[in-house]
Amino acid sequence: MLQHIHDTIIAMATPPGVGAIGVLRLSGKDAIVIADKLFPHKDLTVAKTHTLHVGWLMHNGVPLDEVVVSIFKGPRSYTGENVVEISCHGSVFIQQKVMDACVELGARVAKPGEYTQRAFLNGKLDLTQAEAVADVIASNTEASHQASLNQMRGGFSSILKQLREELIKFSALIELELDFAMEDVEFADRTQLQNLLLTLHATTKQLIDSFRLGNVIKNGVEVAIIGKPNAGKSTLLNALLNENRAIVSDIAGTTRDTVEEVLNINGILFRLVDTAGIRQSDDAIESIGVEKSFEKMRQANLVIYLFDALTETREELADAIAMLQKDKKQFLLVANKMDTIYQPINEKMRRDDIIGISARNKEAIERLENAMVTAVTNGDVNTESTLVTNARHLSALNEVMKSLNDIQAGINNQIASDFIALDIRRCLHYLGEITGTITNEDQLDFIFSKFCIGK
């Protein structure tokens, strides 16, 4: 049986850092008691369920934030337990302080998916939707996960469901050839299968590709700004931060011992890696070469290579690019101090992918920002479109892709249809990991409803 079902848990209910407010959620029998201790304005323990309360949170005599507290008493709550939601201002710093305060007062930081787990163990969740439950199971094994639940967005499962049905229909036709070969049956149309395969392939690929974007929206994208001393890294950093003042805070990272800055550009979170290092390298440590700063970019998803438009030689730039390509990092080439040269930078460097800016004059910063967003989303910033955010689903989709390729290869090699059927089954199996189980009866039902079988 589950341990810890009786303690009170806390986690962010909104993605960290994004938006004007952030919601922390407490769940468990002491949820209201803990919130009450931080909320001197009113006695929350006597508050009615489903009520809102505005006031300042105080901890050890220090005001934390002015917040809205929502009270949900069990069983009429998301988890079925007492739940308190605290809506604070959207600063990671403040949210962390509130969370720390709650933990000090007896709450425990929730494990990934624990809310949903409690919700369905208390019979609160709509269990006909296997999806939500499956997510919990998945998040149990995903260590690197935010406490809030990652739901798939858009019509992901409905698209797959439809394709799966088509595939079941098709596999039924193949089974018909196999199990009833001795009878007067029609055979499965291979051209139809080809078309279905193409559709499935395209959809699956699209979903797999969306994982990267989904992941970015969920976790933020790590960015490293590298370049020689005096390239203007810290000036650029400040320019970016000024432009995006919605969220600026220094927090000591919990998972890494560097200091990071967080930017929100068009709703996408960018985490700047080792910004402390950037600040230092520009000001003080003259001796650090380019090689040294390349070390910083190891953990980054996106690298900004910043150079001085006036002094950088073509050879130096070529070296830097070679190094970036060797590491297979996605990168942007940014020329700073454009105000010091007259020639267009792409002409000077004989490339057409350099973004010229002036960090000091805050010129063309927006162009850089757009380039950063485009680099992450491939231009697709429509977060309403279908996204895969769950690693388990991604791995299932990868297997789907593999078996689709096998089916195709089987058809090309004119292999016996029972082997094609095997690959179709594998494909259905992995689709089933996302949409629910497929039984052999599904195929037989289809056969019997459509075909005159039997002697």
Partner 1 sequence: MFPEYDVIVAGAGHAGSEAAAAAANLGSKVLLITMNMQTIAQMSCNPAMGGIAKGQIVREIDALGGYSGIVSDKSMIQFRMLNKSKGPAMWSPRTQNDRMLFASTWRQMLEETPNVDFYQDTVKQIIVEEGVCKGVITGLGHHIASKSVVITSGTFLNGVIHIGEKQLGGGRISESAATGITEQLVSLGFESDRLKTGTPARIDGRSLDYSKMEKQDGDEEIVGFSFMDVDKPKADSQRECWITYTNQEVHDILKTGFDQSPMYQGRIQGVGPRYCPSIEDKINRFAERERHQLFVEPEGWNTVEIYVNGFSSSLPEEVQLAAMRKVPGFENCRMFRPGYAIEYDFFPPTQLTYTLETKLISNLFFAGQINGTTGYEEAACQGLMAGINAHQKAHGKEPFTLSRSEAYIGVLIDDLINKGTDEPYRMFTSRAEFRTLLRQDNADLRLTEKSYNIGLAKEDRYLKMVSKREQTERVKEILLQLPIEPIEVNMFLNEIGSSPITEKYRAAKLLLRPNIELADLITAVPKIKEALIEYSADALEQASIQLKYESYIEKEKELVDKMSQLENQIIPDSFDYNKVPALSNESRSKFLKIRPRTLGQASRISGVNPSDVQILLVYMGR
Q: Least distance in Å: CB of 246 to partner 1?
A: 38
Q: Let me know if 100 is exposed, middle or buried by CB neighbors in 10 A (0-12, 13-18, 19+).
A: middle
- Judged by beta carbon, residue 21 or residue 422, the one nearer partner 1 is 422
Asked whether position 1 contacts partner 1 by CB under 8 A, the answer is yes
Among positions 13, 26, 134, 309, the unique one binding partner 1 when judged by CB under 8 A: 134
Rule CB under 8 A: is residue 136 a binding residue for partner 1?
A: yes
**Among positions 130, 288, 290, 381, the unique one binding partner 1 when judged by CB under 8 A:** 130
Query: Would you say 438 and 429 are in contact if contact means Cβ atoms under 8 Å apart?
Result: yes
- Is 369 a binding residue for partner 1 by CB under 8 A? The answer is no
Rule CB under 8 A: is residue 242 a binding residue for partner 1?
Answer: no
In angstroms, rounded to a whole number, what is the distance separating the alpha carbons of residues 424 and 406? 9
Q: Decide whether 4 or 256 has the Cβ nearer to partner 1.
A: 4
Question: Least distance to partner 1 from the beta carbon of 443, Å?
Answer: 6
Which CB, 19 or 436, lies closer to partner 1? 436
Q: Which of 112, 165, 158, 111 has its CA nearest to residue 131?
A: 158
Q: Which residue in 89, 97, 218, 426 binds partner 1 (CB under 8 A)?
A: 426
Q: Where are the strands (E) in 221-352, listed by range?
A: 221-226, 251-252, 259-265, 268-272, 302-308, 330-336
Cβ–Cβ < 8 Å for 24, 10: yes
Write out the binding residues for partner 1, residues 105-124 only, by CB under 8 A.
Answer: 117, 120-123
Q: Interface with partner 1 includes 448 (CB under 8 A)?
A: yes
Question: Residue 139 interacts with partner 1 (CB under 8 A)?
Answer: no
Q: With binding defined as CB under 8 A, does residue 243 bind partner 1?
A: no
154 labelled ligand-binding: no
Q: Is 436 in the site for partner 1 (CB under 8 A)?
A: yes
List 129, 195, 199, 299, residue binding partner 1 (CB under 8 A): 129
Is 412 one of the binding residues for partner 1 (CB under 8 A)? no
Please report how close the Cβ of residue 426 comes to partner 1 at its closest, in angstroms. Answer: 7
| Residues in CB range of 437: below 8 A, 6 or more apart | none
Whether omega before 229 lies within 30 degrees of 0, making that bond cis, reads no
Nearest of 388, 421, 453 to residue 168 by alpha carbon: 421
Q: How far apart are CA 115 and CA 329, in angstroms?
A: 36
Distance CA 431, CA 160 (A): 7
Considering only 103, 127, 198, 276, the residue that binds partner 1 (CB under 8 A) is 127
Q: Which of 296, 365, 417, 431 binds partner 1 (CB under 8 A)?
A: 417
**Least Å distance between CB 60 and partner 1?**
38
**Beta carbons of 438 and 431 less than 8 angstroms apart:** yes
Which residue, among 100, 112, 94, has the nearest Cα to 34 in the 3D structure?
100
Interface with partner 1 includes 391 (CB under 8 A)?
Answer: no
Choose among 130, 139, 127: nearest CA to 157: 130
Burial class (CB in 10 A: 0-12, 13-18, 19+), 429: middle
DSSP 56: E
Segment near partner 1 (CB under 8 A); pick from 179-187, 275-283, 322-330, 342-350: 179-187
Applying CB under 8 A, the residues found at the interface with partner 1 are 1-3, 117, 120-123, 125, 127-130, 133-134, 136-137, 140, 175, 178-184, 413-419, 421-423, 425-426, 429, 436-437, 440-441, 443-444, 448, 451-455
Residue ranges of the binding site:
25, 85, 124, 230-235, 249-255, 274-277, 358-360, 455
